Structures are given as structure tokens and as C-alpha cells.
């Protein structure tokens, strides 16, 4: 996928510091964070999104969750959210599968403020 931004990042063609990497996955900070900590976990291989993954990708999908937990532990997050936007109507803007990890709030209800700010800015949560 020549034109895919996340493929370019995964191949190291766009300089980017990874917060995690192994043979299958990389994780890096979101350019427009919606939380104090906002990391994207992506497979190195191009998969369009959760809507098209296949049974052979099961292990990779499970690994994405465990890597998200590992990053959350590394960032010392006491609580966090994980989500995947699927399709344009689900708020997916980049069609290379990515798992969002957001957290870093200090109080239980702090998340709401961040989401409201994001909505005011016209962004997709
Ligand atoms: P989606 O809406 O597809 O679930 O999420 C795409 C995410 O990618 C957004 O949160 C957006 O801020 C992030 N993003 C878009 N372009 C870049 C980029 O060039 N670098 C990084 N690190 N994140 C990006
Ligand atoms: Zn890609």
C-alpha cells in the first residue's frame, strides 16, 4: 500500500518515535490527542480495518490488545480506554487498522471534559 500513511510510518519512511515495536506491531503517539495519553497500536502489515479482517488475523488482533495493555503499563495508566473506529460512519479516517489507547486522566470524570472539547472542535471521538 504505497499511499497508506500508516504503512509509511510502519516502514520507517516517515520519521516517528515508536513507543513500542516488535515483528508484527508498532505503537506511536497520535498526532492529535484526545486524552493526556493517546497512542495508536497498528499492525505492520496493511489491514484496512476491523470490518475486513479475517480468521487468519485472530492472533494478531489478540496481540494488539495485549500490546495496548503493555503500553498502558509502561505509561503507568491507572485506567484507560481502547477503541477501534470502523468505517466512515464509525469515525474511521485512516483505513489501516489501528487500536486507540487513551488515558492519563487524574479524576474519574475527566474523560467527559476531553470528549466535549473534542466535539466542540468538530473532531470525531
Ligand atoms: P481514526 O479516526 O481513523 O480512528 O483515527 C485516525 C487517527 O490518526 C486520528 O486520531 C488522527 O489524529 C491520527 N493521525 C492522523 N494522521 C496522523 C499522522 O500523520 N501521525 C500520527 N501519529 N497520527 C495521525
Ligand atoms: Zn497501510
For 63, which DSSP code? H
Residue 125, domain member (yes or no):
no
Residue 43, domain member (yes or no):
yes
pLDDT (mean) for 49-64 = 98
pLDDT (mean) for 94-123 = 86
Q: What percent of the chain has pLDDT over 90?
A: 77
Residue 100, domain member (yes or no):
yes
Testing ligand 1's pocket by substitution, the residue of 94, 96, 102, 122 carrying the most ligand atoms inside 8 A of its CB is 94
Residue 50, domain member (yes or no):
yes
The CATH number of the domain holding residue 98 is: 3.30.428.10
Cα–Cα dist 89/4, whole Å: 20
Q: How far is the CA of 30 from the centre of ligand 1 (A)?
A: 6
The grid coordinates listed for 114 are 476531553
pTM of the model: 0.93
Residue 94, domain member (yes or no):
yes
Cα–Cα dist 77/80, whole Å: 7
pLDDT of residue 5: 96
Catalytic residue list:
98
Distances, alpha carbon 51 to alpha carbons 14, 43, 57, 71, in Å: 26, 15, 12, 25
Residue 112, domain member (yes or no):
yes
pLDDT at 125 over 70: no
Atom in ligand 1 nearest the alpha carbon of residue 5: 19
pLDDT of residue 113: 81
The domain of 70 spans 5-120
Q: How far is the CA of 97 from the centre of ligand 2 (A)?
A: 8
Domain total for the chain?
1
Query: Pocket residues for ligand 1 (CB within 6 Å)?
Result: 5, 28-32, 85, 91-94, 124
Residue 8 CA from chain centroid, whole number: 16
3-class secondary-structure state, position 13: coil
Q: pLDDT (tens digit, 9 = 90+) per residue, 66-79? A: 999 999 999 999 99
Amino acid at each position: 500500500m504505497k499511499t497508506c500513511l500508516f504503512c509509511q510510518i510502519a516502514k520507517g519512511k516517515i520519521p516517528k518515535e515508536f513507543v513500542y515495536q516488535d515483528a508484527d506491531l508498532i505503537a506511536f503517539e497520535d498526532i492529535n490527542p484526545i486524552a493526556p495519553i493517546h497512542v495508536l497500536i497498528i499492525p505492520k502489515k496493511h489491514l484496512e480495518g476491523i470490518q475486513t479482517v479475517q480468521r487468519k488475523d485472530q492472533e494478531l488482533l489478540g496481540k494488539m490488545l495485549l500490546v495496548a495493555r503493555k503500553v498502558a503499563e509502561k505509561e503507568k495508566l491507572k485506567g484507560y480506554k481502547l477503541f477501534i473506529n470502523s468505517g466512515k460512519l464509525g469515525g474511521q479516517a485512516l483505513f489501516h487498522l489501528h487500536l486507540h489507547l487513551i488515558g492519563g486522566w487524574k479524576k474519574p470524570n475527566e474523560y467527559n471534559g476531553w470528549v466535549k472539547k473534542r466535539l466542540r472542535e468538530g473532531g470525531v471521538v
